[in-house]
Amino acid sequence: MTRSQIPTTQYAVQLVGPGQVRLNKAKPVHRPGPNQLLAKVECVGLCFSDLKLLKQFSQHARKGEIVAGLAREVLAQIPSYVPGEEPTVPGHEVTCRIVAAGDQVTRHKVGERVLVQADFRDLRTASSNGAFGYNFEGALQEYVLMDERVVIDKDGQRLLIPVPEDLSAAAIALVEPWACVENSYVNPERRTLKPGGRTLIVLEGSVPFDELGLPLSKEGRPAQVLTVAPSTVAAQPDESFDDIIYFGTDKRTIEALNDKLAPGGIINIVLGGRRIGQSVSVGIGRVHYGATRWIGTTSCDAAESYRHIPATGELRPGDKVAVVGAGGPMGQMHVIRAVCSGVPGIEITCTDMDDARLDSLARKAVPLAQTNGVRLRVLSARTTPPAEKFSYVAIMAPVGALLADAIRDSLPGCLINIFAGIPAATRQDLDLDTYIVRRCHMFGTSGSVIRDIRLVLDKVEAGRLDTSRSVDAICGMAGAVDGLTAVENRMLAGKIVVYPMLHDVGLIRLSQLDKHFPTVAAKLDNGNWTRAAEDELLRVAGAGSK
């Protein structure tokens, strides 16, 4: 495509304020400057995170201005940088092709087909980081402008990852949400005091300092170790300690220490043979969004708690796995990943409140489980909740009570993957005595890194994972706003994939595809989206009109 062939206007979905979304049929197509490139969007998946941005708009942590990582004068040169109250284009699950590039672009080539790593972690906002589809325009449009100074990270890695030609656009675009799932399993867990960090030790009674058994990293000691009495906890600054070790059992002290934990921090409750004796209000939202961790021991050895932290949140041989809220788009990904993981001896129980979602999950996952020799059960949480205990629980719904239930129903050594984005300020009463006695470990992650995208992409290319099994509906720009509404109202069990070049195609469930495009429906694989179906859709629906 030459520059003269690039249109001057395009169809785009824009968020213009809190709860305000519009289909703009004449949004200008930006011409790339010297350091910029223009990509034509092949398809984009809709995500529940798009709804969070729509509702919060300028108050979203990733819609704020960039305060570090790129100079203001550089940002001012990027027309697709739209922080604060400026209208933005959502959509961060994308396959696109570079069609034009400035004369100072050195790491990207016209014609490359790429997948976008959406988190620009080197570009900091006041409380998060910049991101594609947030304070930089995303892919719910026909063409998107990006700047090479944004999409090369500080380590020199490209955030636009080249992808093969033989995979469907949908399969590639959905690598991004699958990478978020992957991250929750492979992200490393810290297992020592943070080198160079701040450690707070809170003592009830007298415990000699030299007997505390601090678990030190080979990379170094904490920069500061502060030892205080419980009576002084309230005076300590909030969110300022990377490790907190509490020798005691007082509920109020534990709840106060909750607020002193820094992002990425670990709180270690050393019971010393005693019990707390009552539920404790725990900041569970920060486990997901703040990567905080709760550990403990019934002994007097503070280091023992750290020794039982798992290296990652990966499934283990013989795990009895429960996926709670398994019928939704992300829950289905967790189930399919587990079924295709190759981890020996695992058993998977899937629960959901929505029977239609469970039917969709069963259609996709049961044949895979049979092929891979994995025991899989699909149960309605309304009528037949599971009665047994589990060694791994993945929670898909942002409901604090589900975490309390997971602890109650845990086997020794249970890992609890809080995948759902429970609001950061949420607290929940938890039975920490049971949590500590059974050596449970709850953890959460948010987003993904390039490593995760490459891991998933490798699985897709090798044929070990079909990300397009997540697709439940497709549309062009005529159905994009309806698609966002369907995501908000949880009307579909799987993902919605938008093909922006198809202006007039409304939202169509795959189960209804034969009524709209029978030749496309004929190319589904047992109801699942395929490359052949995608190609036929683009042919019969008039793709490439621009």
**pLDDT per residue as tens digits for the range 131-152:** 999 999 999 999 999 999 999 9
Residue 323 region, left (φ>0) first, then alpha (ψ -120 to 50), else beta? Answer: beta
- Say what the pLDDT of residue 205 is: 72
Question: What is the spatial distance between Cα 103 and Cα 301, in angstroms, rounded to a whole number?
Answer: 61
Q: Tell me the mean pLDDT in the region 387-410.
A: 96
Decide: 365 and 336 in contact? Cβ < 8 Å: yes
Residue 543 above 70 pLDDT?
no
User: Is the domain defined by 320-423 classed in CATH 3.30.70.2190?
Assistant: no
Distance of alpha carbon 338 from the chain centroid: 17
Residue 201 above 70 pLDDT?
yes
Distance of alpha carbon 190 from the chain centroid: 19
Q: Tell me the mean pLDDT in the region 73-98.
A: 97
* Position 97 confidence tier, pLDDT thresholds 50, 70, 90: very high
Instruction: Burial-class residue 355 by CB neighbours within 10 Å (0-12, 13-18, 19+).
Output: middle
- Say what the pLDDT of residue 421 is: 82
* Position 297 confidence tier, pLDDT thresholds 50, 70, 90: very high
Q: Which helix (H) or strand (E) holds 520?
A: helix 518-521
- Say what the pLDDT of residue 211 is: 45
DSSP state of 542: T
**Each residue's pLDDT tens digit, 450-464:** 999 999 999 999 998
- Say what the pLDDT of residue 253 is: 97
In 34-131 the beta strands, taken as DSSP E runs, fall at 36-45, 93-101, 113-116, 119-124, 129-131
Q: Which CATH superfamily is domain 3-186+451-467 in?
A: Medium-chain alcohol dehydrogenases, catalytic domain (3.90.180.10)
Neighbours of 489 (CB within 10 A): 9
Provide the token pair at 251: 């509920």
* Position 30 confidence tier, pLDDT thresholds 50, 70, 90: very high
- Say what the pLDDT of residue 237 is: 96
The residue written with tokens 């991004």 in the block is 176
Residues 6+ apart with CB under 8 A from 234: 256
Distance of alpha carbon 439 from the chain centroid: 26
Question: What is the spatial distance between Cα 448 and Cα 176, in angstroms, rounded to a whole number?
Answer: 8
- Say what the pLDDT of residue 447 is: 83
Provide the token pair at 484: 């966002």
- Say what the pLDDT of residue 250 is: 96
Q: Please name the amino acid found at residue 400.
A: G
- Say what the pLDDT of residue 209 is: 46
Domain ranges of the chain: 3-186+451-467, 198-307, 320-423
Residue 544 above 60 pLDDT?
no
Question: What is the spatial distance between Cα 382 and Cα 361, in angstroms, rounded to a whole number?
Answer: 16
User: Is the domain defined by 198-307 classed in CATH 3.40.50?
Assistant: yes
**Each residue's pLDDT tens digit, 35-65:** 999 999 999 999 988 998 999 999 998 999 9
Residue 212 above 70 pLDDT?
no
Question: What is the spatial distance between Cα 192 and Cα 478, in angstroms, rounded to a whole number?
Answer: 52
Q: Is the pTM of this model over 0.85?
A: yes
* Position 545 confidence tier, pLDDT thresholds 50, 70, 90: very low
Map 323-368 to HEC letters. Answer: EECCCCHHHHHHHHHHHCCCCCCCEEEEEECCHHHHHHHHHHHHHH
Range name among 85-89, 310-314, 433-437, 463-467 with the lowest pLDDT average: 463-467
Residue 210 above 70 pLDDT?
no
Q: What is the mean pLDDT of the chain?
A: 94
Decide: 124 and 69 in contact? Cβ < 8 Å: yes
3-186+451-467 matches 198-307 in fold:
no
- Say what the pLDDT of residue 407 is: 98
Q: Tell me the mean pLDDT in the region 407-432.
A: 94
Question: What is the spatial distance between Cα 510 and Cα 65, in angstroms, rounded to a whole number?
Answer: 39
DSSP state of 77: T
* Position 207 confidence tier, pLDDT thresholds 50, 70, 90: low
Residue 372 above 50 pLDDT?
yes
- Closest to 341 in 3D by CA, of 464, 191, 203: 464
Decide: 275 and 252 in contact? Cβ < 8 Å: no
Could you tell me how many residues make up the chain?
A: 546
- Closest to 292 in 3D by CA, of 189, 405, 187, 432: 189
Cite the DSSP H helix spans in 168-283.
169-173, 175-186, 251-258
Residue 152 main-chain phi, psi, to 5 deg:
-120, 120
Q: Tell me the mean pLDDT in the region 216-225.
A: 87
Cα first-last separation, the chain? 11
